[in-house]
Amino acid sequence: MIQAAKTYHVGKASITRIDELQLAAFKFDALYPGAEPQSLERHRDQLEAGSFDPVAGTFIQSIHSWLVRRPHHTILIDTATGNNKNRPEIPSLHQLNEPFLARLAAAGVTPEQVDHVLLTHVHADHVGWNMRLADGRWIPTFPNATYVFSGIEQAYGESLATGTQPTGTARPAPALGPALRKPADRVYDDSVRPVIESGLARLIAVDGGEVLEGISFIPTPGHSIDHASIRLVSGGEQALFAGDVMHHPLQVYEPSLNSCFCEFPEAAWASRQLSQGAGSGLQGALAIGCTGSRPSELDRERLPPRGCLLHRETTRVATFKMRLPVKPNEAPVRAAHPTSASFPPKPRASTATGSTDRRVASDDTGRSTCRNAAWDCSR
């Protein structure tokens, strides 16, 4: 029997994580190629149990959605990987058959009840349940929802999917710095374009403005061309759903670490300076919780001053609650792009060639299975 996940509260909103997969795939060199191993050693004792396997030396990560319930809205933030998706280049995500919708039901929500799907970006493990396979064709999993996401992400994805040169808004801004990788193949075709064709998409400018009462998309580009962190304001409290700004709590302590998945590493680096410096729109924020299984148990003393994030990828809930004068209409300024001088020094030469991908498929009864497959981070 699938049990409902724990629910957290931010103001009048309740937040429940809907799990899809756990991954124990990456060692340090694979997730952060070229970075100094001391970055991990410095903070190994600060990492929560369950977020790092000290024996195998692998980071524990998860892929999941966040269910946000408010008095008048039922919202999903990101939609994980999805079943039946053809991802041969990413074996861990290939042809999944996970009880994601059963877990959503265990939380008390049917797909038809979801009225908004908010996407931080359009990578494979964030948009998959946008569509599901029925009678051989992709149909919207959440037929009554408005799918809200960046128009730039859509335009860029469309140009790559059709093999055309990105032009106009689809063209990466020079301020992003060089692109070192691109989104995975087929994701746009089976999980993004069908949303648009179904008439359910609402494409937005990621500029910090409210898209729904108390909800705004904050620019945190770099991991992808127009990655957004989604800010929820309710009852004088805030939560920030940070998407893939970070891939592990280690980056809370070491924000200079770029994961191998960042498409535009220089901009990704800048976006992790979220709560530092003028112009972020979050300055003055006080983080009151981070990386704990239960917010009430969080250890404030261990928090770095820059705060921490309600982190999309970690198995532990990292809550970014900020005590600040709430200004719902405040539009954060896009984080300043680092100059070449401020960007971290070039990493050391890496010998990493990939990772051992251990997919942990939980059956919700405490048993789990591990599967091994190559994960080529360069894809």
| For Zn ion, the closer CB: 123 or 132 | 123
Query: What is the C-alpha to C-alpha distance for residues 60 and 313, in angstroms, rounded to an integer?
Result: 9
Q: How far is the CB of 123 from Zn ion (least distance, A)?
A: 3
| For Zn ion, the closer CB: 27 or 121 | 121
Contact 227, 220 (CB under 8 A): yes
Q: How far is the CB of 61 from Zn ion (least distance, A)?
A: 12
CA angle 282, 170, 34 (to 5 degrees): 65
SS3 272: coil
| For Zn ion, the closer CB: 17 or 126 | 126
Please identify the residue of the shown chain whose CB is closest to the bound Zn ion.
123
In this structure, what are the phi and psi dihedrals at residue 219, rounded to the nearest 5 degrees? -65, 120
| For Zn ion, the closer CB: 105 or 184 | 184
- Return the number of other C-beta atoms located less than 10 Å from residue 260's C-beta: 24
CA angle 63, 66, 72 (to 5 degrees): 160
Build a one-symbol-per-residue string for 86-125: x at contacts with Zn ion by CB under 5 A, - elsewhere: -------------------------------------x--
Q: How far is the CB of 242 from Zn ion (least distance, A)?
A: 11
> For Zn ion, how many residues bind (rule: CB under 5 A)?
2
CA angle 30, 37, 368 (to 5 degrees): 50
| For Zn ion, the closer CB: 74 or 220 | 220
Q: How far is the CB of 184 from Zn ion (least distance, A)?
A: 10
Query: What is the C-alpha to C-alpha distance for residues 322 and 6, in angstroms, rounded to an integer?
Result: 21
Residues 224-263 within binding reach of Zn ion (CB under 5 A): 244
Residues 119-148 within binding reach of Zn ion (CB under 5 A): 123
Build a one-symbol-per-residue string for 326-345: x at contacts with Zn ion by CB under 5 A, - elsewhere: --------------------
For the chain, the residue count is: 379
Q: How far is the CB of 90 from Zn ion (least distance, A)?
A: 12
CA angle 238, 243, 247 (to 5 degrees): 115
Query: What is the C-alpha to C-alpha distance for residues 68 and 310, in angstroms, rounded to an integer?
Result: 13
Q: Is 313 in the site for Zn ion (CB under 5 A)?
A: no
| For Zn ion, the closer CB: 229 or 234 | 229
Q: What is the DSSP letter of 296?
A: G
Q: How far is the CB of 115 from Zn ion (least distance, A)?
A: 24
| For Zn ion, the closer CB: 120 or 159 | 120
Q: How far is the CB of 21 from Zn ion (least distance, A)?
A: 14
Query: What is the C-alpha to C-alpha distance for residues 314 and 26, in angstroms, rounded to an integer?
Result: 13
Name the β-bridge partners of 238. 233
Q: Which residues bind Zn ion (CB under 5 A)?
A: 123, 244
